[in-house]
Structure 1
């Protein structure tokens, strides 16, 4: 029961985290991606403004002039109106589809394209999502701990009630049944108290009936044995009848011994149920 309660508690926590955490993680990833795209737009606007100013003064745009304007993990490609291409930045090969790219048209002709590495975006997303993952793991561990404590507290009454039921099954009807704040456990406890009381009354009634019946049997048996002995010893009794009567006397003795043994057993059981040990032989 305890393991199932812990599993249920942890499962509910996982479900809540999945329903709330996964959409939030996607939202954070989209926010980070939008932030990186905004950075790329600002960088492209700045570089485009510098190129426009340099072109208006008759300056030449070179890789050396573009390098200081390019941030880490960015690359730019400037194509003049005449088709001349100038590249700068950290990317040595054509950017992949995962990279962020923005394009600006330069007044007077020409086109500027800026790429921001997709690895930087993924790293930013990981940095933003990592605290959420760590928080989810901490919540799972906390839920397992809290679930273990709650499961122990919830299962303890039922384990005690099972022990009480075993005691009642062994004939200890005077066992004390604790009271609990849990309604279901208290209902089981009430049922065990009523059942133990009824069983105690029933067993005591049957035991008393058996003892009384045995006492009632001992007197007639003893009287019958004495009558048979007297008849066997009576002078007017024929020898054959006397012999037959004497043959019944051992049977009556065995019956009387069986009744006596039953009475002793019933007495020992009654003393044991009352908390006393069996009588010592005298």
Structure 2
């Protein structure tokens, strides 16, 4: 493209120089020839007036006197009536000449000639000047064409590299502008595309991380139920455990759907009024085997009969995350306590462990912030799930730890208490 821009610019310049140069050469040639003709005629008239003047005054007319009056390199022949031979001044040119003849009142005839070669040399000098100016114009055009080509090609090359980086998976915007409106517009579009791709990649990575973490808990609970089925021979126990396992599969499906929905729009919750006691009871039943296997207890206390507004599957997942967090990092009995504050229903999860380290504090909900070999995703995802339903998840106390899930209460339930 660089060569094409330079060639097109030079082609335009050469056409302009050719058109105006040829026209200028024609005009200057005619001007020089006309000027030489007028000069010769003027000289013939001047010599005629000198000769007539001397003849009227009775003075002699000699070649020596007239040679001082004629321009060098010109030839003059003067014919005076009564003289046998004409007077000749200078050397008569050969070849083509520019000539002028004048006749005076005394019958004097004067012919002045100048070699056309003198005019040709003048025309040659003029052509040389015109050619030099044309060459300078071509050189200037080449320099300007190269600079303009670089000014246009360099940004295009840079934009091509940006597009190649986007295609190779590097979505960082470059924020470069080039002073050319059209190219700057392309750069704006590429930067906007880079930002969109970066957001999409971040969302995909976040979904993968959240899914791997959030699916681990229900899969672990499901695995424990299946283990219970394998070690018992009682049909009633098998039926009961299978029923619970099927319920866990449904909740697992809900978790997957919830993760996919949050990956598209974190605020797209499908909150409904539900019985909070049922969700708390279901979580206690699911986690009791794990607590028993760790020689720990899980209990429930507080106000009962609460109805909250939210997504039951999401609330169950938040409570599961808090219970798992207590089993991993806490100690003693795991307690779920329900209460009412204002128009909100609160579920608190606490244990008798050492609590949240002082250096973490509220940062415990940030992604990648973790303690004691955990991934740092569980509490962050749990808070996202709570906020998607209009609730909130908070750390009320660090030692011993108390995590609280705040949910809006159902309007009818609130008015009846």
Q: TM-score, normalised by structure 1?
A: 0.60
Partner of 1:4: 4
Deviation at 1:118, TM superposition (A): 1.1
SS of 1:112 mapped into structure 2:
strand
Q: Which has the higher contact order (CA 8 A, sep 6+)?
A: 1
CA contact (8 A) 2:93 2:113 kept: no
Which secondary structure does the structure 1 equivalent of 2:154 belong to? helix
Q: Check conservation: 2:93, 2:115, Cα contact below 8 A.
A: no
For 1:222-237, what aligned pairs fall within 5 Å after superposition? Answer: none
Q: Is the 8 A contact 1:177 1:192 kept in 2?
A: no
The reply to whether residue 38 of structure 1 matches residue 18 of structure 2 is no
Higher helix share: 1
Shift of 1:101: 1.0
Alignment of 1:1-282 (within 5 A): 1-53=1-53, 57=58, 59=60, 66-79=66-79, 84-91=85-92, 93=94, 95-96=95-96, 99-109=97-107, 111-200=109-198
CA contact (8 A) 2:66 2:89 kept: yes
In structure 2, stretches of 5+ residues that fail to align are 231-417
8 Å contact kept, 2:93–2:114: no
How many correspondences in the alignment? 228
Give the distance between the partners of 1:121 and 1:14, measured in 2 at CA. Answer: 28
Q: Distance in 2 between matches of 1:16 and 1:158?
A: 29
Structure 1 gap segments, 5+ residues each: 232-282
Residues 67 and 58 from structure 1, CA distance in 2 versus in 1: closer, same or farther, beyond 3 angstroms?
closer
Over residues 87-141 of structure 1, what are the superposed CA-to-partner deviations in whole Å (9 max), with x where a residue is unaligned?
Answer: 4322354x42xx2111112434453221111111122233345434323322222
Normalised to the residue count of structure 2, the TM-score between the two structures is 0.43
The alpha carbon displacement at 1:55 in A equals: 5.3
| 1:27-56: CA deviation from partner (whole Å, max 9, x where unpaired) | 333333232222212221122234435555
Task: Give the Cα separation in 1 of the matches to 2:61 and 2:76.
Answer: 16
8 Å Cα contact 2:77/2:87 also seen in 1: yes
CA contact under 8 A between 1:167 and 1:175: conserved in structure 2?
Answer: no
Shift of 1:74: 1.3
Question: How far apart are the structure 2 equivalents of 1:60 and 1:157?
Answer: 82
1:74 and 1:207 map into 2 onto residues whose CA distance is 98
- Equivalent position SS for 1:90: coil
Let me know the Cα RMSD of the aligned residues: 4.3
Q: Deviations over 1:178-202 (max 9, x none)?
A: 2332121122223323443454556
**Cα separation, 1, equivalents of 2:114 and 2:93:** 13
Deviations 1:125-172 (A, max 9, x none): 333454343233222222222222222222221111111112122222
Residue by residue over 1:188-243, the C-alpha shift from the partner in whole angstroms, topping out at 9 and shown as x without a partner, is 22332344345455666777788899998xx99xx99xx9xxx9xxxxxxxxxxxx
User: Contact 2:77–2:86 at 8 Å: present in 1 too?
Assistant: yes
Distance between the aligned counterparts of 1:177 and 1:89, measured in 2? Answer: 81
Check 1:107–1:39 CA distance in 2 against 1; reply closer, same or farther (3 A cut). same
Task: Determine the C-alpha separation between the residues in 1 that align with 2:143 and 2:107.
Answer: 67
Note if contact 1:74-1:116 (Cα within 8 Å) is conserved in structure 2: yes
Specify the SS of the correspondent of 1:115.
Answer: strand
Write out per-residue CA displacement over residues 59-105 of structure 1, whole angstroms, 9 at most, x where no aligned residue: 576x5565444322211234566885554322354x42xx2111112
In the alignment, the residues of structure 1 paired with residue 77 and residue 66 of structure 2 have an alpha-carbon distance, to the nearest angstrom, of 10
